[in-house]
Structure 1
């Protein structure tokens, strides 16, 4: 377990606490999008849930807000690498869009413009870019844009194309991952970056936040323990009928599923929480 002081913005708890402050989230968006005139109209909401029907899969977005031009922003901090991130953003886009029209609205042009931003400490596309921005274009005429107002941005904190982004952006990437920007001490003062750094310092100095962090960790640890116990018991029952080794594997698979249901996390995140080595991920994914 990391202490609160050891957390970086890659850690979900700290990221959520920091961007709950609208000024900090506004500063983050300004640096990433390169728009100094961006002003948020609403308070940033963390862990906002979207669901189209009770029986369908819901999502909880990391942070969600609207600016004074009614543009919607959803930003996700994705620390772990997985192979479904592109389609995950597609699903996020669909559920967010479904919430933007009031019942009975007939004009689909009233749907807000949306930008989904996913920040990752790895290169999802392997081309060395800091930023990959996707908008719909015509395959036959690439210069023809669909102009549907939907944009998805994937950010790689380990980019190498330094000439294509601002020094301020690079400094933000260093701070996100390491809580420092020593390599960028020569850049001009950035009021946006200073707002983010000041918010991080306040969060880490807060006793209330420290208590919440401990409570959150203890709550998740309890869920992990209960999921393991339930899976172990079910595994023993299966093992009696089908063989101990197979029963143990099924018990672990049950633990993974219990953790996914109780904490609303992915299979990979559940396996990581349970201390399962990555070499065994495929085995349990197939069982699931």
Structure 2
């Protein structure tokens, strides 16, 4: 069931992307997570789609940011645990590298990049609020490959396990919806601004309609494939109709 526009919160995909279009809030979020400054943001794209070649699986980034240093930051909000985040991070990293290295350029021109997943659950299972990964030497743990790629996973479940007050307040906000810091109050203010926008309301309505249509189309295609397989196995037409819900006339044409 599609959530009402009035009920959207920061953790909802649409509202997260709208909020992160604010450069000040977006910059603050990234710097808080990385405990570092990133400089001026020169580019923000939400729901940014990349398809590297015709047969490849496409990638749609929640928020893709480039700083004046040239570094890329992909920030994703993840509410449900689909148990694929490590491999997704690997694929997202590859998509950024392939898409933004111009043909003929040296590999050394690859921009540094950070893939950041903000999760309401613990992906790794070690009860840490922040997990940061980079490529290191197995034989010498202090030796980094220095390939310019880092992956960061935020675990809102562990909000009590950080001494960083600002991060703790942000993670608490993710879990409870209660804005108690200047930063989270800024997010809530932006959310209210978005909710007062008729254009944003229309965008959400159109997006929701499109996604429902896509889901319905996907469900219909699955029913047809099931019916085809059952028909190949010589199942009775009446049984195929009962299981798939497709009319007999359509099943007979398959």
Give the TM-score, by structure 1 length. Answer: 0.75
The higher radius of gyration belongs to 2
Following superposition, the deviation at residue 120 of structure 1 comes to 1.0
Q: Distance in 2 between matches of 1:54 and 1:129?
A: 39
Following superposition, the deviation at residue 247 of structure 1 comes to 4.3
Q: 2:235 aligns with which of 239, 242, 245?
A: 242
Relative to structure 1, the CA distance from residue 246 to residue 131 in structure 2 (aligned partners, 3 Å threshold; closer, same or farther) is: farther
Confirm or deny that 1:30 pairs with 2:23.
no
Q: Distance in 2 between matches of 1:51 and 1:221?
A: 23
Q: Distance in 2 between matches of 1:249 and 1:114?
A: 51
Residue 138 of structure 2 corresponds to which residue in structure 1? 139
Q: Secondary structure at the match of 2:10?
A: coil
Q: Distance in 1 between matches of 2:228 and 2:136?
A: 55
Q: Secondary structure at the match of 1:99?
A: helix
Q: Secondary structure at the match of 1:159?
A: helix
Please say which of residues 130-139 and 168-177 is displaced more in the overlay: 168-177
The CA RMSD over aligned residues, in Å, is: 2.6
Flag structure 2 segments of 5+ consecutive residues without an equivalent. Answer: 246-254
Residue 53 of structure 1 corresponds to which residue in structure 2? 53
Q: Distance in 2 between matches of 1:226 and 1:100?
A: 33
Superposition pairs of residues 201-280 of structure 1, within 5 angstroms: 201-233=192-224, 235-236=226-227, 238-239=229-230, 241-243=234-236, 247=240, 251=244
Following superposition, the deviation at residue 10 of structure 1 comes to 1.9
Flag structure 1 segments of 5+ consecutive residues without an equivalent. Answer: 253-288
Residue 285 of structure 1 corresponds to which residue in structure 2? none
Is contact 2:52–2:58 with CA below 8 Å preserved after alignment?
Answer: yes
Following superposition, the deviation at residue 244 of structure 1 comes to 6.7
Number of equivalences: 242
Structure holding more strand per residue? 2
Following superposition, the deviation at residue 180 of structure 1 comes to 1.4
Q: Secondary structure at the match of 1:210?
A: helix
Residue 20 of structure 2 corresponds to which residue in structure 1? 19
Following superposition, the deviation at residue 47 of structure 1 comes to 1.5
Relative to structure 1, the CA distance from residue 98 to residue 10 in structure 2 (aligned partners, 3 Å threshold; closer, same or farther) is: same
Q: Distance in 1 between matches of 2:220 and 2:84?
A: 29
Q: Distance in 1 between matches of 2:112 and 2:54?
A: 26
Relative to structure 1, the CA distance from residue 242 to residue 12 in structure 2 (aligned partners, 3 Å threshold; closer, same or farther) is: same
Give the TM-score, by structure 2 length. Answer: 0.84
> 1:101-139: CA deviations, max 9, x gaps?
211113x22211100001111101111111100011111
Relative to structure 1, the CA distance from residue 165 to residue 99 in structure 2 (aligned partners, 3 Å threshold; closer, same or farther) is: farther
